Amino acid sequence: MTDTSRREFLTYSASLAAATAGVAAGAGAATKEPLTGATRHIHGPVRTLNGWTLPYVRKGNVKEFHLVAEEVQHEFAPGMVASCWGYNGSTPGPTIEAVEGDRVRILVTNRLPEHTTIHWHGLILPSGMDGVGGLNQPQIEPGETFAYEFDLVQHGTHMYHPHADEMTQLAVGMMGLFIIHPRENAAPVDRDYAMLLHNWAVHPGTYRPDPAVMVDFDLWTFNSKVFPAIEPIVARTGERVRVRIGNLSMWNHPIHLHGVQYEVTGSDGGRWPKHQWRREATEIVGVGQMRDIEFVAVPGDWAFHCHMAHHTMNAMGHDLPNSLGVDQSGVARELRELFPGYMAMGEDGMAEHQAHVEMGHVTGPPNTLPMATGRGPYGNIGMGGMFTTVKVRDNVHAGDFSDPGWYDAPVGSVAARVSSDPDFGNPPRRG
C-alpha cells in the first residue's frame, strides 16, 4: 500500500466509523425522510464520480449493508430533474465496497410500487443468492425486506441491479457498483475512480424516463449525470490512476481518453495478470461488461468521453431531415410557432446550436437541457452527455479531489491563429 492510499484508507475508516454510527442510530428513520435525491459524498478508497459509498454495520463476522429500492428526484444537470428509481436516495445507488474474504449480508427493502430483486452481477455465490426473481427466489413485494448473505470469494469491479421487470427498473435508474478489493495489495493505484454508463429516454419537456424506448435515447450518462455536471477526474502529475467503468445501458460505448495510452488492466474478472494488459486509447465497454483502465497522469486538461458522437450530446430530436447546407432563413421561425421549442438542424453544422441557445434565440421545452453546452477557457465546448475532463496538475495534494480549475498551459504550447485569410498559404490539393 502506498503512503497516499494508506492515508486515504485511514481517513476512510475514520469517516466510516462516524457514518455507520449514524446509520445504526437512524436506519429506520432514514428511509422515511423526504426523498431529495441529494448526492451524499461518503467516499471509500474508490471515488464514485458524483456518487457515494454505502456505509456498513459490522455484526460479528458479517458486514451488513442495507439497500432501499425507492423513487428519487434526480438532477441530471442543473435545469433538469426527473422522477427516477434508485437506491437509498440516489441513482446510481451507493457503491458497495468490501474486501475479498468478507462475508456480507445485504438487506434489501422494497419501497417501490412493484416487486423487485437484486442480482449481484459477476459475483460467485450460491444459486439462491443470485437474485433472479422467480428463478432463484420469490419476488420482493412492495414493503418487504429480504436478506442476501454470502462470502466474497473473488476481487474486481462488479455491479448490482434488479432482475425483476428489468426493462422498467433498469431504464429508470436502478443500478450500482459493487467493488471487491483484493486481500493482498489492495491499493496498487494512487487514485481509484468508478462509474456506470447508462442511457435514458427522458423526452424533452417530460419528468419521468420512458422505459419503452429501445434505441433513440435522450441522455447518455456517467453515474446518471451529463456534462458539465459530471465531476472532473483529478490527479497529481505522475500518480497512477484507475478508472473502473461498468455498462448497464443498452449500447456499447467506446470510452476514449486523450493525452495518454492507458492500460486495460481488469474487469469483473479482477485485476488481470500483467501479460493480459493491453495498451489502448479507446476501449469498448460492452453492455453488461466492466473494464478497468489505468494510466500515469500527465499534466493538462484532457477530454474523457464516449466516442459515439451522439453520446456526447443531450436530448435531441430524432428522425429529422438533414438540413446541412440548406438555407433555412425564415422557415425556422414559422416552424417554431407551430412546434414550440423547435430548432432547425444547423445550416453550417451543429456547432451554432450552443450559441443560439445561450443568446436566447431558442427556448427549449421546460425541464430540458441544451443539446450541447459547457464553457472552457477558450470558448464553448459544445458537449453534453458522456463527457468529462481528466485534470492533472503538479501541485494537487494527495487525497484532494476538488476541481483545480482550467489548465494554465505553458506559453507557446497552445494551438494559435496564424492567419484569418481563407487563401492563406499554398496547401497541396489532389487533382
> Residue 183: helix, strand or coil by DSSP?
coil
Nearer to Cu ion, 54 or 77 (CB): 77
Nearer to Cu ion, 118 or 386 (CB): 386
Applying CB under 5 A, the span of 115-123, 245-253, 273-281, 376-384 interacting with Cu ion comes to: 245-253
Alpha-helix residue ranges (DSSP H) falling in 172-284 = none
> Residue 15: helix, strand or coil by DSSP?
helix
Q: How far apart are CA 263 and CA 255, in angstroms?
A: 13
Nearer to Cu ion, 203 or 253 (CB): 253
Q: Nearest Cα to 205, choosing from 67, 369, 427?
A: 369
Min. distance of Cβ 393 from Cu ion in angstroms? 28
The H or E element that residue 280 is part of is strand 278-280
Q: Which amino acid is at 348?
A: D
Nearer to Cu ion, 199 or 373 (CB): 199
Residue the block writes with cell 430533474: 81
- Phi and psi at 191, nearest 5°, equal -135, 140
Q: How far apart are CA 139 and CA 112, in angstroms?
A: 12
Applying CB under 5 A, the span of 87-95, 122-130, 306-314, 348-356 interacting with Cu ion comes to: 306-314
Give the chain's length.
431
Q: Nearest Cα to 48, choosing from 207, 157, 121?
A: 157
Min. distance of Cβ 258 from Cu ion in angstroms? 16
The H or E element that residue 85 is part of is strand 80-87
Give, as ranges, the residues between 164 and 203 that touch Cu ion (CB under 5 A).
none
Nearer to Cu ion, 65 or 222 (CB): 222
Applying CB under 5 A, the span of 88-96, 114-122, 305-313, 328-336 interacting with Cu ion comes to: 305-313
Cis ω before 94 (30° cut-off from 0): no
**Which phi-psi region, left, alpha or beta, contains residue 265 (left: φ > 0; alpha: ψ -120 to 50)?**
alpha
Count of positions on this chain that bind Cu ion (CB under 5 A): 4
Nearer to Cu ion, 225 or 271 (CB): 225
In order of 257, 278, 315, 421, the CA distances from 262 in angstroms are 8, 8, 31, 39
Applying CB under 5 A, the span of 60-68, 77-85, 113-121, 247-255 interacting with Cu ion comes to: 247-255
Question: Per CB under 5 A, does 253 bind Cu ion?
Answer: yes
Nearer to Cu ion, 308 or 398 (CB): 308
Task: Tell me the per-residue interface mask from 84 to 123 with Cu ion, x by CB under 5 A, - otherwise.
Answer: ----------------------------------------
Are 292 and 243 spatial neighbours (Cβ–Cβ below 8 Å)? yes
Q: How far apart are CA 36 and CA 206, in angstroms?
A: 19
Nearer to Cu ion, 164 or 170 (CB): 170
Residue the block writes with cell 456506470: 196
Min. distance of Cβ 206 from Cu ion in angstroms? 22
Q: How far apart are CA 184 and CA 273, in angstroms?
A: 14
Applying CB under 5 A, the span of 185-193, 299-307, 327-335, 416-424 interacting with Cu ion comes to: 299-307
Of 311, 353, 391, 393, the residue at the interface with Cu ion (CB under 5 A) is 311
Nearer to Cu ion, 173 or 404 (CB): 173
Task: Tell me the DSSP string of 20-64.
Answer: HHHHHHHHHHHTTS-----------SEEETT--B---EEETTEEE
- Phi and psi at 30, nearest 5°, equal -55, -40
Nearer to Cu ion, 202 or 297 (CB): 202
Structure-block grid coordinates of residue 221: 450518462
Question: Per CB under 5 A, does 306 bind Cu ion?
Answer: yes
Applying CB under 5 A, the span of 81-89, 284-292, 311-319, 347-355 interacting with Cu ion comes to: 311-319
Min. distance of Cβ 330 from Cu ion in angstroms? 36
Min. distance of Cβ 383 from Cu ion in angstroms? 13
Min. distance of Cβ 244 from Cu ion in angstroms? 17
Applying CB under 5 A, the span of 132-140, 198-206, 309-317, 360-368 interacting with Cu ion comes to: 309-317
Min. distance of Cβ 223 from Cu ion in angstroms? 14
Min. distance of Cβ 141 from Cu ion in angstroms? 36
Which residue ranges make up the site for Cu ion (CB under 5 A)?
A: 253, 306, 308, 311
